[in-house]
Structures are given as structure tokens and as C-alpha cells.
Amino acid sequence: METRGEPQLANRMSQGDSNPAAVPHAAEDIQGDDRWMSQHNRFVLDCKDKEPDVLFVGDSMVQLLQQYEIWRELFSPLHALNFGIGGDTTAHVLWRLKNGELENIKPKVIVVWVGTNNHENTAEEVAGGIEAIVRLINTQQPQAKIIVLGLLPRGEKPNPLRQKNAKVNQLLKASLPKLTSVQLLDISGGFVHSDGAISCHDMFDFLHLTGGGYAKICKPLHELIMQLLEETPEEKQAALA
């Protein structure tokens, strides 16, 4: 499905001059305990100390994943680092990646999962923000293969945010093939039941995943990461032939 009409608009959306979701923006410390900056600083330190083959970056969907056993089972063995921060929008992730979280490391795969918290932005702007993140990673980590995870549906019953998130995924499906070294993994199917409801067994607050919810996502994600890690340039050539 193509975005309507204007390639220039799509370009501007990921270049930030008319898209706030694509403008790097640090989170303000409203609460007064500076936790966002503390987490960012810790990630920058991790970059100096560690040599991840896989990097996960995004919002609480990424962050919470590390709290469950499944992280230790599937992703720790791949030397994965988790740079998720709850509440983050695309603008926050952009700022973090521009300010140290991509330095001193050379991961083979980078998983990007962000956008569901971009409440002030349209679906087009959110997609543009995600594209801006991909472009930034292309520049700073040209060797990395990028997996963009599709936004999940949310809320117990049908609501506008579900449509918005689905629209973001549609837009990305069209635009990501035009960018470099990136693919969309849309695992949003399987959460909405035939009656339109999402179960709290999958999402304990109709947004954040339970262990069972993560298991649904992580199986295909893990498979894809393994595939990308194992791909050598020769294999890739052979596959294309």
C-alpha cells in the first residue's frame, strides 16, 4: 500500500524539518529523580564496556522484555544489550542514539521497537520518526542489519490507537523496503481475538506484554535474528542467485 501522492512529504517526515517525531529530543525530568538520563548514561557506559552482537532499542516493550526469563533464554546467549526506556517516543530514541548509545559498539543486528507512545503525532509522523531512526543507524552502524518491530494493538477493546498503530505498520511496510539493511517484522497478529478483545493474559494492562505475550513475539523474532546473524555475504549472494 503506497503512501498517498507525495514522495517529498514522506522524505520530509523522516528528515525532521516538518516532523516533530523525527526531531531528536531528550526527555524532560518532570518527576525530579532524573531517571531517564541515568538510564541513558548507563547505556552509554555499557557501550564502552561491552561488545554486543545484537542491540535492542526502544520503549518499555523493549525494556520489560529484559525482565522476563525469556530474555535470558533467547537473547543473552546472542550477546544482546537492551537499551529500552519506558515511555520513550521516536524522538527520545533518536536523541539517545545520537548522543552516545551507538558509540564504541559494532552490533550485527539492531532491533528497533518504538512508536506506541507517540501520542502527539499522527501515524505518518510516527512512521517518519522510525524511518529517521533507521537512517541514523545506517549512517552510524552501516554493518548492522535492522529489524523494525511493528507496533502492537493496544487497549482491551477496539479503539483509535489500534487503528493508528496498524496504520504506522502499513506505512512502514511500504517505506522500509526503500531503505537500507532493514526489514519490518510485524507480529501484531494473534493478539486480537475474534470478538475484538485483547486478553490480559497476553497484555496485563492491555499494553504491556506478559511472559506469555512475549513468548508469542520472541519466537519469530529470535528466528529472524538467528537468520541474520548467520547470513554471510556469500550466503546472501547465493540466496539472491
For residues 7 and 87, which CB has a smaller minimum distance to another protein in the complex?
87
Taking CB under 8 A as the criterion, the residue among 67, 139, 180, 227 binding another protein is 67
Are 12 and 3 contacting, i.e. CB atoms less than 8 angstroms apart? no
For residues 115 and 155, which CB has a smaller minimum distance to another protein in the complex?
155
Residue 201 appears among annotated catalytic residues: no
Should residue 42 be labelled a site residue for another protein when binding is judged by CB under 8 A?
yes
Query: Helix 90-98 crosses helix 123-140 at what angle (to 10 degrees)?
Result: 10
For residues 145 and 162, which CB has a smaller minimum distance to another protein in the complex?
162
Determine phi and psi for 31, rounding to 5 degrees: -75, -30
Binding mask 89-128 for another protein (x = CB under 8 A): ----------------------------x-xx--------
Taking CB under 8 A as the criterion, the residue among 1, 4, 31, 238 binding another protein is 31
Instruction: State the Cα–Cα distance between residues 51 and 127, nearest whole angstrom.
Output: 30
Binding mask 143-162 for another protein (x = CB under 8 A): -----------xxxx-xxxx
Query: Minimum distance between the CB of residue 31 and another protein, rounded to whole angstroms?
Result: 6
For residues 58 and 146, which CB has a smaller minimum distance to another protein in the complex?
58
Using alpha carbons, list the distances in angstroms from residue 122 to 94, 103, 165, 197. 17, 31, 10, 24
Query: Minimum distance between the CB of residue 35 and another protein, rounded to whole angstroms?
Result: 5
Tell me which residue of 199, 192, 209 sits closest to 71, measured CA to CA: 209
What is the C-alpha end-to-end distance of the chain, expressed in Å?
27
What is the footprint of another protein within residues 160-219 (CB under 8 A)?
A: 160-162, 200, 204-208, 210-211
> Which pairing describes strands 145-149 and 109-113: parallel, antiparallel, or unpaired?
parallel
Instruction: State the Cα–Cα distance between residues 36 and 181, nearest whole angstrom.
Output: 29
Residue 60 appears among annotated catalytic residues: yes
Catalytic residue among 14, 40, 60, 188: 60
Instruction: State the Cα–Cα distance between residues 39 and 27, nearest whole angstrom.
Output: 11
Are 169 and 133 contacting, i.e. CB atoms less than 8 angstroms apart? no
Residue 59 appears among annotated catalytic residues: no
Determine phi and psi for 107, rounding to 5 degrees: -65, 155
Should residue 35 be labelled a site residue for another protein when binding is judged by CB under 8 A?
yes
Instruction: State the Cα–Cα distance between residues 57 and 6, nearest whole angstrom.
Output: 30
Taking CB under 8 A as the criterion, the residue among 34, 51, 103, 235 binding another protein is 34
Binding mask 69-88 for another protein (x = CB under 8 A): x---------------xxx-
